[in-house]
Amino acid sequence: MHGTTPSHITGYEYDDPCYDQVWGHTLPSGATNCMSRRPSGNGPLAGHKWVQETAYDFDGQTPLVKTTHHYYTRNRSDTDSWRHGREHQTQVCSVQDDLLQQTDTTWANTANGSTIFTYVDHVVTTDESHGTSLTSRVDYEYDDYGNVKAEYHDGNTAISGDDRSIHRIFYPNTDPATWIVSKVAQEVTYEGNVSYDSTPDLNAVDAMTRYYYDGNSSYTTPPVEGLPTRVEQITGYREYISGGWWY
């Protein structure tokens, strides 16, 4: 134990196993079929419909809290293979099975050439831990490379005035020999539900961060190696903070 005592121990419980194989093949005892878009004959274990984590006190006997992860699995009539294996719900419960928090994730997809881009459309979280129900929601927008370019946070869906928006800019390097497309160049946080602005008013933003790569003097220059070499921040108090890295 290296002279330390763990704060808690985590145990795991699994639903029936689900195999990625074509219909009609013999499954192991107690297993189900959740074939993907391109299953094989006697395919491998793909996962489980749900997985439950139980946190125990350090004695390994006293349960503290249970977290259950629910995943999409496919049956024969389901055509939504694009979301196969994605987590769509997370529930946190007390040891008495009282729901403390639930997070529901809604997935969507869009065609991208011969492939399908699967992404999180929005996430709704409901907190029941204080005896009242409080629901928050986050919606996402993406650029052409799958980067999250915008987040719209509704802090409490029952009231107004607690919203927050985050906007990101990326300057991808699409040279096939380099292909660096996911390095964020600018991130701006606003109070309220605010649309994207390519030239944000610094007096209106809650915070802004700009990232420079590979020693470039401009944050708009696409990266060549993707090494962060400078970061600039402006806070809600209009304070500028600048720092850098050397390699």
Q: Walk along the chain (247 residues) and give the pLDDT tens digit of each residue.
A: 344 556 678 999 999 888 888 777 778 887 887 776 666 677 788 888 899 999 988 777 788 899 999 998 766 555 677 888 899 999 999 989 999 999 999 999 998 888 889 999 999 999 998 888 999 999 999 999 999 999 999 999 999 889 999 999 999 999 999 999 999 999 999 998 888 877 777 777 888 999 999 999 999 999 999 999 999 998 755 566 777 777 6
pLDDT at 203: 74
In the chain, helix, strand, coil percent, each to 5? 0, 50, 50
How many angstroms separate the CA atoms of 187 and 204, rounded? 14
pTM above 0.95, yes or no: no
Residues 6+ positions from 41 with CB-CB distance below 8 Å: 21, 22, 25
Identity at 120, one-letter amino acid code? V
E strands present in the chain: 8-14, 17-19, 32-33, 45-48, 50-57, 63-71, 87-94, 99-112, 115-127, 134-142, 148-154, 163-170, 184-191, 207-213, 228-234, 240-244
How many angstroms separate the CA atoms of 145 and 175, rounded? 14
pLDDT at 243: 76
